[in-house]
Structure formats: structure tokens, C-alpha cells
Structure 1
């Protein structure tokens, strides 16, 4: 069906376009997705994800969303979602329900039964230093009981507030980098929400207090001088950047890492290596992030993107389906930016440019108007 959009209304035409040829034309081939409208309390945090994916973390970015309810008590998911059954989670009240999306552009209303059951709360952490000053800066991760990263923060004016934590649950604060000129008493701190107040203490690094007497570390360290220590740790993430391993010791001789429990031979992982050099007058920290393939013995090699092009595979999952069309539409409208390989795959008309024409060609391919990609001219 061909038609045009006059700014307010979609007008469908079944034959010709005599006086509308100056208008922007749109090609609508198949209904591809829908939208949600959630009713809950103001400021409630809502997660939406495709049930068949198994969990929110396993979903593609095009199959999930996180919303904040406005003062009106509503939140509308505007990005297009594929057809299917969705889990709708109210992270603030703990309520969960399911809802199907079966029509294009539909706003599917979801209303929760209860409104007062808040297991989610904020938690304040205080930072102190032995020189009496208020430490500011540094980087910390907050991990849940399963080791998943739920928050990352930097303290400001000696304090940090961690939102959306579940009452009664145990969490771990993991130091990634201390404020300049300081070293924390230890690298990890465990706390339970509502049962204790967490205080993280720092020691000032000075010419009279060397790193060898103040730092306590579980990492592999190499002494480079009497007043200098060097250590390397690593973190491992999956392709969605979910934390798999953290605070691992990295041996520069064997260059091995621990394999995650769900390791598979050809899967790609993010490996972050952080090197710290602690000196009497301060600490130098640097990190590298590599996309790697892990081998069975724990060694790794950098992942090399293939130079070949799989036209239509915009999300780089090895197949061409409707989720690629959704992502390509977003890229063509400037909502997202594709990396080099994804941009090559998205050029479905092989003209060296990314645009709406590529999205049209991909939709034609998905409904078998075209039988192969790319479609030139």
C-alpha cells in the first residue's frame, strides 16, 4: 500500500499520486511492532522485556525498555517493539504482569493491581579519610548477591546514594579506582540494606606513608621499588555488558583468565584490564577494553571482525529478521549510530550510503518482494 503523510494524517492511495508527488512518500509493507502504556505510581521504575528471550538481560536492546512513570501516573513506551508476549515489571513495587503486542502502532494499556509494596529503597554510603578532608572522585561498582553489576558511581563531597536497592538483600561495593592521592582500606565492602551503615575509609598517600604499608590487595602485585607497587586486575562482561567476572587477578606471564560458567568456544566477551601503579606521591591507573574470544585453557585473543558483509544483519547476530529492520529504521533516522561492520551490513541497496531506501529494501526482502540482498538500483 502506497500513501503519503500530510503532517497529521496518513492518507492511503491505491492507484496514483497526481497532485501529491511533492510530498514525502512512505512505503508500508507489514506491521512490525507495537507500544506500551503503563499506569502506576509517579516515579515508579518499569521494565518491559520480551518473555521468549528468557530475561531482561538476555533481550536485545530492541526487545526491551525501561520507563519512569510521570506525575500523571502513566508512562508510554515510544520505541517500536516486536510482536510477542512481554513481561512488565514494576521495580518499585515488585509487581509483575504479562501483556501481548499483536498490532502495529498499538498502545497496549497495562495497569498494576497494587500500588504500595515498596521493597526498593536508596542507600547512602559515607566516605572518610585519615587526613580529615572530604574525599571526592574515584569509581565504584555495586554488585548484587549473584555478582551482577546493578550500579556504578563516584562519591561527591564524601557521600554517595545508591538507588533502587532491595530491602534486606546483601550487596557488595567494589572499588575500581580510588580518589587521587588516596588508597581505600580494602577493595570490596559488603552491606545489607536497612541493617547497617557503610563507611568507606581512605588513607592519604604521602612521602612518609608508602603504598607498601597502606594498600591491602587481592590482586597480583609486582614490586618495582621499595615505594612503588604495580598490579593488574581484570573484569569480564558478555556482549550485553553484563558482568560475568570481576576483581580477577591477571597474570601477565600466562595471560589467562577464569572462564565464566556458561563459556562457549566461539562466544565473544568484553575483557577489561586495569593496571595500577601506586607511588608515594599518588596512584596511576589505566584500563584497556578488548573484544575477545576465550579459549578452553583460559587464554584469549582479540576478536577480529570479519571483512565479509551479511546484508541486512544490522544487529550483528548472524541472521536477518524484523529486529534488524527496526534497528535500521532507527539508524536511518539518526536515533542510533552503527559501528563500521553494522553500517556495511545495513547498506541493503549497496550504494555506499545509509538511508531510508535501505530500510525499504530490507522490508521488501523480509516479505519476499525481493529474494536476495543487496538490491541495487
Structure 2
């Protein structure tokens, strides 16, 4: 156990360091590190039958560029540990690591930490309870600034290979996002589709599939379309090893859990509200005052010489210039934050933008 912990900590530390090289090179190193961690731990625990490990890697193609990621982990003693990372087009890396523990039959707890490419961290934790074909979960996320977001939802098995999910994500500012999805599994493929609706009425749709192409090898693909019509596509490969058998029985710490197919839970997609534009009308110019000159003095004709007074002087009033126009500059829109992939219960949630 100490050997596995040491290897896993080394993998987590590698992911937490930001690389200055290209994104594709970073992705290769992440994938190799994940594979080396799992293979090395497997070699040191050949005598332990209840150990299971996995690693995976994938790529997301967006309008901002290509994002490559890798993740790996292992399970032993009723606890699964995981670590992963995503490298952006500029070579900056975001990481996530944590653990999921089976506390009782049908009861699970999870905790972990995610680090963004800017060094900020998010602590996340949650609890999952499964009974009667339904798994319900609650969780929270706390950022390095102290702000907290909460999540809740459930996944229900409606029939053989048929699943549905729904839930709510509430941000630290009180804004809520509702998500729902359905998953259908047949043969070696599971397909999913769903929607996410924000507090402002904006909707994001997403779909994808996971196909088992070989024993222990699953190929994934998906896409998401935002409120402005922008579409993000993803693809990846997950390789399982150790005591994991795809579509059969998973052995963890001596307990047996039979699953008919993988449940693909869609990641909550946070739709930022459109930036509002503040328009301030310039004040109305003050009208120039109208000055009426007094009537000219009367002409008095004396019996002596006639005295004609000079004409009255013209009074010219110049109106003051109008006040300068006040220009208000709206603040810059809040930048998008990449939330790396993380675990919700026993389900891996891929990276997404907030």
C-alpha cells in the first residue's frame, strides 16, 4: 500500500507542475505518466488479487484550440485513488486528484482537489447513496477565494441498459443550472444525450458514446453545443487493467458488484450569462438663456437744439458650452475557467468550461 501511495503521489506531483512545452507534448507525458503509475503499482502488487488499476487519455477540439488530457488510478481496500490532467493549446496544465471510498453497502464518499492553470485550487467533496436502482448524490466545491458551489442529483436505472439522470448545480452567487440526460446501452456501445439549462434560460445540448473495442479498451466521443451555436467535440480512449472486466464483475476489496453496463453521467455544463452592455445617455445640453434688451429711451424734443440719444448697445449673450459627454465603459467580461475532470461518486466527469 505504501508503494502504491508513493507512486500515486509522484504521478499527482508530476501533473501539478505546469509545463511550458506544446500541448501535444504535455499530453504524451501525461499519458505515459499515467500508464507508468498503473503498471508500476501492478508489478509491485502481483500477490494482491483485489487490486484494480486503469489509465486513459483523450482530446477535446474547441474553437479555442486543442485540449489533451490523461488520467489514471487504482483501487484497493475499498478505496479508489485517481489523478489526471488536461493541457491546453498554450501548454498550460490543469490537474485533479482525489479518492472515492465505499463506506457501507451502497454508500460512497469522495474528496479531492483540482488546480487550474493559474494556480488556483478547488476543494471538492460529496456523498452518494444507491438503493432500489437509483443512486443519489450531493456535493460541494470550495474555491481558493472561499466561494462555495453545491451539486445534487440522481441516476436511475429504468431498464436493461436504460438510464436517466437529473440534477442541479448552484454557484456561489446563487445562480442555478439544471441538467438532465438519458443513456442507452446495447451490444458494446452506450449512447447518451442531454441538456443543461441556465438561470437566464440559455440551453446547452450534449451527446456522445462509449464503445468497447477490445477487452478492457473503451473508445469515447462526444460533442456539446452552446447557446451561441458553438460546438465542442471530444474523443478519447480508456484502458482498464488489473481485476477489472468490462461489462462483467468488478472486484474491490473482496466485495463483488455486478454491473450490466457503464453508466455515463453527463458533466454539468455551466453556461455563463451574456455580458450586459451598459448604455448611458448623455445629458441634454442646457438651452441658452434668451435675454430681451429693454426698449430704447424716448426721444425728447426740446424747444432748443434737438438732442438725439445714442442707440442702445446690443447685448450679446454667449451660451456656455454643453457639458462633456460621459462615457461609461462596461467592465471586461469574466474569463472562462476550465474545470478539470473529476469524480462524482464512482463516475468520472470530464473537464468542462465555467
Query: Normalized against structure 2, the TM-score is what?
Result: 0.19
Normalized per residue, the structure richer in strand is 2
Q: Under a length normalisation based on structure 1, what TM-score does the superposition of the two structures give?
A: 0.18
**Greater length-normalized contact order (CA 8 Å, ≥ 6 residues apart):** 2
